[in-house]
Amino acid sequence: MDTKKTIRKLFFTITGLAAGTGILILLISAIGEKKKGQCTDYKITIKSLHDTRFIDNKDVFKLISAATRGAVRGQAISAIDTRKLEDMLENSVWIKDAQLYFDNKNVLHVSVTEREPLARVFTTAGNSFYIDSSVKKMPLSEKASARVPVFTGFPDKKVWNANDSLLLGDVKTVAKFISVDSFWSAQVSAIDITAEKNFEITPVIGNNILRIGDAENLEQKFHRLFLFYNRVLSKSGFDKYKVIDAQYDGQIVAIRKGEKINSVDTAKLKLNVQKLIKQSLEVQNDTMVTARNVVTAINTLNPAERGIMNEQEENNAKASSPNPLKLSVKKNPSAKKPIEKQKPVVRKEPKAVMEKKSNKQ
């Protein structure tokens, strides 16, 4: 029995090897015949995340025909190196990825993924270019323009050094944050790069400057700015302050129009604005606060400290919805709770004191 089983297994093994060898021979023969054939046609597909196209089928075909030195149709398939063509297409400033292959009808398929501009950058000399998510520098196109965040003040150099590359990485970080936020993508008009490599935003609404410093902790900085917009500027007006600075951790520093920017003025304004935000952060280390905390902080300041609401606006703010929209809160369990001030106890004295009657007659 064992001998028969062994012979049977050996038979099937030999048969399987023969079948596999036959299939392999057929494949090699088919590939050989295919390489002898000619390209019957081509099909170009361009993938893009947006409707705006910076390259079209004609641009791609020009690159391919230049590399193949002639018309694509009718050329021998063996003369078309698809891997080499892929590398050539990916060297184009507007092409991120390329895939080429022949189907069983000898049709050349060209699938191209277009680079997507993330920001438009203006140099100090007035030159302009785009960058994508991989910080690839791209020229402007005559075919279309991209609606992306605009940055000004980038150093104008023919050769970038390491610091320039880092700065361009910060530009990408800021642009990416703004692009995915519906509020700020609509509110930001332009972002200027200062000599200290910090960022200053010119808003669409309001004649002021929003300072965010470097590209670190953008979520917290823009969150503080949003709270200031929602709870202060919506009451006082968007043109009351010429500078709104959110780059310092846990606070907003605002400078009114007509006031000088110096240490004394800044210290005074911190009483008006820093308390507004900081009092709501006494039980927290980060800046993710609730709208309720901000309203409470506003109501605890006296009118002299607040400096941002008149009496009518103050009453309107107190009479607003008792359940404002809550934002995410992460309380620090180890943080100490603020000490509540105890009200002084006032003893009430009787208006008149009756003399006690004596028992003595």
Residues 298-353: tens digit of each pLDDT: 444 444 444 433 334 434 434 433 333 333 333 333 444 444 444 454 555 544 44
pTM recorded for the entire structure: 0.63
Confirm if 194 and 213 have CB atoms less than 8 A apart. no
Confirm if 154 and 124 have CB atoms less than 8 A apart. yes
Q: Determine the pLDDT at residue 278.
A: 52
Give the chain's domains with CATH numbers: 35-114 (3.10.20.310), 205-318 (no CATH)
Mean pLDDT of 110-136: 94
The yes-or-no verdict on residue 161 having pLDDT over 80 is: yes
For the stretch 68-101, pLDDT in tens is: 887 889 999 988 999 999 999 999 999 999 999 9
Over its C-alpha atoms, the chain yields an Rg (Å, rounded) of: 36
pLDDT category at 103 given cuts 50, 70, 90 is very high
